[in-house]
Structure 1
Amino acid sequence: MNPEIAVPAQPFNADTLDAIAQQLEHRGYALVPQALPPETVDALFVELKQLPEQYFKPAGIGRQDDFQLNRFVRSDQICWLNGDSPAAAGFLAWMQTLREGLNRRLFLGLFDYEAHYASYPTGAFYKKHVDAFKGQSNRVLSTVFYLNPQWQPNDGGELVIYDENDQHELERVLPEYGKLVIFLSEVFPHEVLPAQRERNSIAGWFRVNNSSAWMADPAR
């Protein structure tokens, strides 16, 4: 396991982007503690906690015609970010900075970004899965940004990342406040373990544009 990336006062500056790109190139994922300014993190946390309950919908698996609810696979609830609030707009602006920086360094052709709040009630989980199947999705990079103040190891809720062949555990990541995880969407099976308290995050995906003259690139 490689150490986490140390982030200076100005997030996603050239040095930080270089370090993230190097981790993605060498091992396919990166861990960034305290990734965004504290005021951005706090604003996102306050917004999430103040969102009306009816804004959250049970999360499903698959997309479009393949979408289905399966409470044996995942039991979280989600609310999509549209950038209407100052908190969400600030977060999406930082992700735009990250997208542009990674494109310059890794030539990934990342086209846009989509994200949602994910709320896991006590005991909720998301069983092992991949975020995209090779050649069948436009999702290239997955991100998870954690909004859990004072999270302790015995609270559980870790993100477990497995190797490409699904044989070995690579990382077990505590969902600590302000931490960002980035990984290749098609490569790494991963799961969310049950937690002893409510667990919150923003899950997102950088996408490439698969539009053509015959087929439009689908929305989320």
Structure 2
Amino acid sequence: MHYQWPTLTNWLEQIAQPFYQQGYVVLEQAIPADLCWSLYQDVQHQQLTAAGVGRQGQYQLNQQVRRDHTAWLSQDNPVQQQYLQLMAQLQQDMNQRCFLGLIDFEAHYARYQQGDFYQKHLDAFVGRSNRVLSSVCYLNTVEQGGELVLYDEQEQFLTKVQPKAGTLVIFESCRFPHEVLPATQIRYSIAGWFRHNSSIQGLVDPQQ
């Protein structure tokens, strides 16, 4: 088994224009098939742990809110480094095209097993986080379940994204509430965040 799809040579252009118009974009087969396959293999050898909610002192495990398992990506891992470098290209391009002032990117693997979900939430709140753009990259395809649902600023349904290997979703972190519906099959992805600075009121924004 191996992933096969043509490598997009203009993937940056295909992301920037719709994002500029609507604040989010869903691009299928956005990352090279070989890289997606390598990431899919890599995540299965990582030690993933139950994900929590909240920041710093408020951080806690809450299975009523989310039940996924995660592991942070590192530049020390050659496969993960390739993905981080790809996102660095996206960061640079989005800065040039949309003047976002992004300076940092963090990401983690996410695994949703049967029944796992993540309730509706925002990734950032204006003035309380330096996360500007959220990203989701799917590492495998599932027939149903585990969909990402985006809502608009009035929390009205906007779109539903079926997990499909190679698909990349980008959206404004403080603008679009979103949720992950209960998975029926094991689903692997990479969740990431682009930041516009490294601190808020002199405090480093913690990874969460």
**Aligned counterpart, 2:152:** 163
Unmatched runs of 5 consecutive residues or more in structure 2: none
**Aligned counterpart, 1:31:** 26
For residues 27 and 80 of structure 2, the distance between their equivalents in structure 1, rounded to whole angstroms, comes to: 19
For residues 206 and 178 of structure 2, the distance between their equivalents in structure 1, rounded to whole angstroms, comes to: 24
Q: Which one-letter code corresponds to 2:88 in the other structure? A: Q
**Aligned counterpart, 2:7:** 9
**Aligned counterpart, 2:118:** 126
2:72 aligned with 1:80: yes
Q: For 1:145, which of 137, 156, 166 is the aligned residue?
A: 137
Of residues 82-91 and 39-48 in structure 1, the stretch that sits farther from structure 2 once superposed is 82-91
TM-score of the two chains, using structure 2 as the length reference: 0.92
Deviation of residue 62 (structure 1)?
1.5
Q: SS in structure 2 opposite 1:101?
A: helix
Q: What's the C-alpha RMSD, in Å, of the aligned pairs? A: 1.7
Aligned structure 1 segments of 4 or more residues deviating by more than 3 angstroms? none
Provide the identity percentage: 48
**Aligned counterpart, 1:4:** none
For residues 170 and 60 of structure 2, the distance between their equivalents in structure 1, rounded to whole angstroms, comes to: 26
**Aligned counterpart, 1:195:** 183
Tell me the matched-pair count: 203
Q: For 2:60, which of 63, 68, 71 is the aligned residue?
A: 68
Matches within 5 A, 1:35-46: 35-46=30-41
For residues 68 and 115 of structure 1, the distance between their equivalents in structure 2, rounded to whole angstroms, comes to: 19
CA offsets per residue over residues 147-176 of structure 1, 9 Å max, x none?
Answer: 114x22xx211100011111x211010011
**Aligned counterpart, 2:43:** 48
For the 8 Å contact 2:107–2:190, the answer to whether it is kept is yes
Unmatched runs of 5 consecutive residues or more in structure 1: 1-6
Deviation of residue 79 (structure 1)?
0.4
Deviation of residue 211 (structure 1)?
3.7
For residues 209 and 29 of structure 1, the distance between their equivalents in structure 2, rounded to whole angstroms, comes to: 21
TM-score of the two chains, using structure 1 as the length reference: 0.87
2:160 aligned with 1:172: yes
For residues 179 and 8 of structure 2, the distance between their equivalents in structure 1, rounded to whole angstroms, comes to: 31
For the 8 Å contact 2:102–2:196, the answer to whether it is kept is yes
